[in-house]
Structure 1
Amino acid sequence: MNIALVLVCAMLLDAALGEPRWLWSRVPHPAVLMGRLIGWLDRSFNIGTERRAKGVACLSAAVALAVMLGIAIGALGPVAEIIVAAILLAQRSLVEHVTAVADGLCRSVADGRTAVAMIVSRDTSDMDESQTARAAIESAAENLSDGVIAPAFWLLIGGLPGLLAYKMVNTADSMIGYRTPRHEAFGWAAARTDDLLNLVPARLTAALIALPAKQFDAAALRADAGLHRSPNAGWPEAAMSRALGIALSGPRTYNGRLQDFPWVNAAGRRNLTAVDIDETIVMLWKAWALMLVVSALFGMLFL
């Protein structure tokens, strides 16, 4: 079975089963194991001098371990590859988390804030309905890229070793890739490598969102994406904002400090509700379906 058909099967398995709580409440999820490894490397080597060099060495060792593990699992055959790939894709899980915010907002703003606090890092305690919905939609767009399309892309490019290497880098970035006194040097390699690995997938995600919505305007997407503080996250956000006719990004609070970020698709509607989250979920599935079709076509071409 070629790798494109492995991806197709993995995407379908993930969509059907998601993250079974009965399983991951008993054994650690692979992403959790990766996080434990990165945490141990951070505690053990993010000390003293030459922290940037140490960060490069630690990331290289972690990625090498991921690649070797991918090769070993791949040797077990396509069934093992499909299962592991499905575990590391997050479409069903993403939809469930975003749906929880919409359901919460339908009950009360407080319930919506509680749900969105599970998926964003910004301050949520004083969010109104629009801010809560906007945070959920932004998280949905970004995580479609990081959690679904990018892993699928790197599986197609590098097989299971490529997927595991990407997930290791992405996990490292989420833990140590920050410009803080502790991590600016040690996490430099993780942050820069994650930016590089997401360069193509972020733009691919934007296309997968924009095409079904018939809102594919490359120049407009590029302009809006350039307003975002991230070199990659702005692309899926720009595409989602135009697909729904809404404004995303804008001012928000982190650690008690208001950050005056520019609006993405500033002309879009700014009063958002749970209905907009529901429409976002539809767009997530349309983008997923388009990726599935493209992967299936590749799989059949190279049979």
Structure 2
Amino acid sequence: MTLILGMLLDAILGEPKWLWSRFPHPAVLMGRLIGWCDQTFNHDDRKGLMGFITIAALCIGVGLLGWIIQLAPGYVLDVIVVAILLAQKSLVEHVQAVGDALRLSLGDGRRSVAMIVGRDTKEMDQSAVARSAIESAAENLSDGVIAPIFWFAVAGLPGLLIYKITNTADSMIGYRTPRHAEFGWASARLDDLLNLIPARLTALLIWTVTARPNPKPIFKDAPLHRSPNAGWPEAAMAHGLDIALSGPRSYDGEARNYPFVNGTGERVLNADHIDHAVAVLWKTWALTLGVAFVAMILI
């Protein structure tokens, strides 16, 4: 019941600005804590060890916090925490905003998509803007919705909070930069491990709601992606919408010649394709809610 109510509350309210403009979001607090750890411990010859100890301590700390919260009578607080740490409505809003902006002009589309992706956007054409938004939709559906739901179902609030702190750490210190190659290694590998099942589960859910006849192309194309996990929801979205995703792009002025996922799919994309991706986000959410409801009845 807690999970179902949390999903519904998140889908209805999302991230209300009136609340998070006055108080820091828990994800922001996690980010500040990780930033402090980075500044405090990432500066000696034992960066790898210190990075391992850091992510272990963070996981133990938030796991204990989740256990303490669960001790509170009733389930209202649990529902609120679940709703806050899910990102269905905010994901939909951010992705749809790109489609709405792209309908106004290419420049508006570029500015909007720059808010949700880390790649260079100034030279993007219409297809690249739409492709970037759809890729973000697929990847963040896994990271921001399905994975948190999965780990809550497996281990309650401790599991959910451990996943969120790990995912946040990976986004901040998990990149293979000179500064974080050693210190963030443990966080990045733990994030890969925690997303191993949810990423493939997300692909299965997308494949189900898009009613594609054969899942084999997903298994073929997912390994083409640079990420061991993100390729699964992205491949499922690409084949579900019959479009080509991934492909060449630029980061910090450096061109990356990544292969296309579903390279035979449509490559000329527009705001309508973003609308279709948003519809898939809601259908996947609805299917997940249905599975959770059935599981609640059976268990």
Q: Identify whether the pair has TM-score above 0.5, normalized to the shorter chain.
A: yes
Tell me, in whole angstroms, the C-alpha distance in 2 between the residues paired with 1:124 and 1:265: 22
Runs of 4+ aligned structure 1 residues displaced above 4 Å come to none
Within the candidate set 52, 57, 67, 1:56 is matched to 52
1:195 aligned onto 2:187: no
Structure 2: gaps (5+ residues):
none
Tell me, in whole angstroms, the C-alpha distance in 2 between the residues paired with 1:158 and 1:171: 19
Question: Aligned residue for 1:71?
Answer: 67
RMSD of aligned C-alpha atoms? Answer: 0.7
Tell me, in whole angstroms, the C-alpha distance in 2 between the residues paired with 1:301 and 1:33: 37
SS at match of 1:135: helix
The answer on whether the counterparts of 1:207 and 1:216 sit within 8 Å (CA) in structure 2 is no
Tell me, in whole angstroms, the C-alpha distance in 1 between the residues paired with 2:217 and 2:160: 31
Q: Which amino acid aligns with 2:129?
A: T
Superposed, which structure 2 residues align to 1:182-221 within 5 Å?
182-215=179-212, 217-221=214-218
Superposed, which structure 2 residues align to 1:35-184 within 5 Å?
35-76=31-72, 77-184=74-181
Question: Aligned residue for 1:239?
Answer: 236
Tell me, in whole angstroms, the C-alpha distance in 1 between the residues paired with 2:249 and 2:149: 31
> With structure 1 as the length reference, what TM-score do the two structures score?
0.97
Structure 1: gaps (5+ residues):
none
> With structure 2 as the length reference, what TM-score do the two structures score?
0.99
1:216 to partner: Cα distance? 5.6
Render the CA deviation track for 1:65-110: whole Å, top value 9, x for unaligned.
1101101111113111000000000000000000110010010000
Question: Aligned residue for 1:16?
Answer: 12
Q: Which amino acid aligns with 1:66?
A: V
SS at match of 2:202: helix
Question: Aligned residue for 1:300?
Answer: 297
1:223 to partner: Cα distance? 1.1
SS at match of 2:224: coil
The answer on whether the counterparts of 1:250 and 1:260 sit within 8 Å (CA) in structure 2 is yes
Q: Which amino acid aligns with 1:185?
A: E
Question: Aligned residue for 1:25?
Answer: 21
SS at match of 1:95: helix
